[in-house]
Structure 1
Amino acid sequence: MNIKTVSIIGLGALGILFGHHLSKKMPKVDLRIIANQDRIKRYEKDKILCNGERCQFNYVTPDAVCEPADLLIFTVKFDGLEDAVQAVKNHVGEHTIILSALNGITSEAVIGQTYGMDKVLYCVAQGMDAVKIGNELTYTNRGMLCFGDWEPGIVSEKVKRVADFFEKMEFPYEVDTKMTKRQWGKFMLNVGVNQTVAVFNSNYGEIQREGQAREIMIAAMREVMALSEYEGTYLTESDLEYWLGVLGRLDPEGKPSLAQDIEARRHSEVELFSGTVLELGLKHGIPTPVNKKLYDKIKIMESQY
């Protein structure tokens, strides 16, 4: 069964990036952006732009009656995930495949509680340097989606269907048979990059070069490495080097989502990053002082809005 219809919920940086690309590759009616009526009015009034081009999206409300999607992609913030899970109910059917491009290591489980883990593939979005200001998204590197089954060494028919779809859409992707480690690796990168750039009020360039910010970033990442052993994912120095290589290819002037949230005086996903690290450190009796300092600093920054 080929993938023909796609639904996306969440029109932040990744939602716009994916949606804009797909909108130029498939019939407009087959790509649906799920949003409530107030958001749709705002999107249509303000016009969503991606690298200077106006996005031509097909918006549908959560209560609109429609055929289930062949592929459903979550691109909301984590604090909006529970609402999003309920909003997509009309788009989930017997054969729907679900991808979550959210940060962190828990969104698939949250989605699976409602729709069943058999519909969910594990996914990581990496290598994007998208910056969203207001209604306009800009990026230099589109990055790629990495996805696969949770069980190591397996490539299911669902994975093959999604890979075939992205191949036809000419969107960069990679099938990974070790998604546990991939997700933890991306989590490690996010913990270091997102928080350090925010605290230093800077950009990717600040942590791509040698200096205090890069040292703090790597120290925060090493705390995730230490925890991974107790969580059964066993990140290594080679994993650290791989993700530093991903970081090194990003636009130096770009910045991650948490830093963008702090600049815009929005509630950030700090609980998803150092908040999770601190919880796991307490669980396993592992000290995480670098992440504690980053957590406290970001909380102070948010309290000053």
Structure 2
Amino acid sequence: MAIERMAIVGKGAVGLLYGSIAAAHLDAGAVTYVMDDARFERHRHDRTLINGVQCDIETLPVSDLASERPFDLVVLATKATGLDQALSTMEALVSPNTCIISLLNGIRSERIIAERFGWQHTVLSVAQGMDAVFLNGELTYTHPGEIRFGAAEETNPGVVDSIAAFFRRAGIPHTVEANVEHRLWTKFMLNVGINQTCMAYGGTYGTATAPGEQNRCFIAAMREAMAIARAEGIELTEQDLGDMVNLIASIDPAGMPSMAQDRVAHRRTEVEEFAGTVIRLAEQHGILVPQNRWLYDRIREIETSW
């Protein structure tokens, strides 16, 4: 099927980044942001800048879509903490033929989505390599990164090809993964390290990759996630770990991942998706994860201080 219309649920750093790229390459009306009605009312007068340029992409409350035909592609780009509300919003956007791609952090969102909408048109995916920072209504970035995605076991034939064809037309950097499950866990390992370290220390990509305590935390947390992945049957390697460290070293050292931005803005973090998941799986497999236990406690302590 040809994808012509894309709805994005989530208007933060990732949603704005890829939505603005697509809108610059496609016809008017091809990209729409959709919010639940309460969120729309809170943000309807917000002014959003993307690298200094006003973002004028259409944003609609979900109640306005009752008479609209469903979208061909729904991109979920909220934080993991907003997943439940996003699923309710998606009810008005998804038909039996709508393709779904989730750019949420962690390793759980696609399964949760498929429980409600089915696996047939849902793919597995990650967004990585971007240095986007979204604070005070302004998104800045120099590296757009890319979306890496592939079929789950029950994804219908042709769905991945349809999304890839749309991304090519939309100018969205992407790679189709033959082993997307491995990619999903590699990104999870990276987030467990970089997101949580920068949040716990108030650091940046540069401080986490420079020699010192933050770097030791970054690497130790990833090694624990690697051990969990292997216990779950995913063979992450030292090469995978080294590739992720090099990826972070290649982007703006002054930039910061989403959880570090949450610390600045006093927003609830995704620690449950990272250290929380590592700890739960570690208990199932009898694996020691002291670095992630420390990160979990430290991040919760910081959140409580707000």
- Structure-1-length-normalised TM-score: 0.96
Give the AA of the match of 2:88.
Q
| Residue in 2 that maps onto 1:264 | 265
Q: Distance in 1 between matches of 2:156 and 2:260?
A: 36
| Residue in 2 that maps onto 1:297 | 298
Cα 1:49–1:42 change in 2 (3 A) is farther
Structure 1 regions of 5+ residues with no counterpart? none
- Find the partner of 2:107 among 86, 99, 105: 105
SS in 2 for 1:143: strand
Q: Distance in 2 between matches of 1:44 and 1:86?
A: 20
What is the Cα deviation at residue 150 of structure 1? 2.2
Q: Distance in 2 between matches of 1:68 and 1:194?
A: 35
Q: Distance in 1 between matches of 2:156 and 2:300?
A: 41
SS in 2 for 1:132: strand
Q: Equivalences for 1:120-131 in 2 at 5 Å?
A: 120-131=122-133
What is the Cα deviation at residue 213 of structure 1? 0.9
Q: Equivalences for 1:58-137 in 2 at 5 Å?
A: 58-63=58-63, 64-65=65-66, 66-137=68-139
Q: Distance in 1 between matches of 2:135 and 2:230?
A: 38
Q: Is the 8 A contact 2:22 2:171 kept in 1?
A: no
Give the AA of the match of 1:281.
A
Q: Is the 8 A contact 1:150 1:178 kept in 2?
A: no
SS in 1 for 2:162: helix
Indicate whether 1:179 and 2:173 are aligned. no
Q: Is the 8 A contact 1:199 1:298 kept in 2?
A: yes
Q: Distance in 1 between matches of 2:98 and 2:237?
A: 35
What is the Cα deviation at residue 151 of structure 1? 3.8
Cα 1:27–1:40 change in 2 (3 A) is farther
Q: Equivalences for 1:205-216 in 2 at 5 Å?
A: 205-216=206-217
Q: Distance in 1 between matches of 2:157 and 2:125?
A: 14
Q: Is the 8 A contact 2:120 2:156 kept in 1?
A: no
What is the Cα deviation at residue 40 of structure 1? 3.4
Once structures 1 and 2 are overlaid, which stretch shifts more, 123-132 or 58-67?
Answer: 58-67
Q: Distance in 2 between matches of 1:110 and 1:83?
A: 12
What is the Cα deviation at residue 69 of structure 1? 1.0
Give the AA of the match of 1:117.
W
Q: Is the 8 A contact 1:78 1:102 kept in 2?
A: yes
Q: Is the 8 A contact 2:122 2:152 kept in 1?
A: no
Deviations 1:240-274 (A, max 9, x none): 11111211222101101111111211111111110
Q: Equivalences for 1:182-197 in 2 at 5 Å?
A: 182-197=183-198
| Residue in 2 that maps onto 1:243 | 244
Over the aligned positions, Cα root-mean-square deviation in angstroms equals: 1.6
Give the AA of the match of 1:202.
G
Q: Distance in 2 between matches of 1:224 and 1:255?
A: 21
| Residue in 2 that maps onto 1:140 | 142
Give the AA of the match of 1:167.
R
What is the Cα deviation at residue 43 of structure 1? 4.1
Give the AA of the match of 2:4.
K
Q: Distance in 1 between matches of 2:229 and 2:91?
A: 34
| Residue in 2 that maps onto 1:220 | 221
Deviations 1:111-132 (A, max 9, x none): 1111101121001000011111
| Residue in 2 that maps onto 1:200 | 201
Structure 2 regions of 5+ residues with no counterpart? none
Give the AA of the match of 2:76.
F
Deviations 1:120-146 (A, max 9, x none): 100100001111112111111100000
| Residue in 2 that maps onto 1:54 | 54
| Residue in 1 that maps onto 2:278 | 277
What is the Cα deviation at residue 44 of structure 1? 4.3
Q: Distance in 2 between matches of 1:267 and 1:95?
A: 34
Q: Distance in 1 between matches of 2:212 and 2:41?
A: 46
Indicate whether 1:231 and 2:232 are aligned. yes
Give the AA of the match of 1:298.
I
Q: Distance in 2 between matches of 1:213 and 1:155?
A: 43
Indicate whether 1:7 and 2:7 are aligned. yes
- Structure-2-length-normalised TM-score: 0.95
Deviations 1:151-205 (A, max 9, x none): 49x9941111111111112221000011111000000000000111111111100
Q: Is the 8 A contact 2:32 2:60 kept in 1?
A: yes
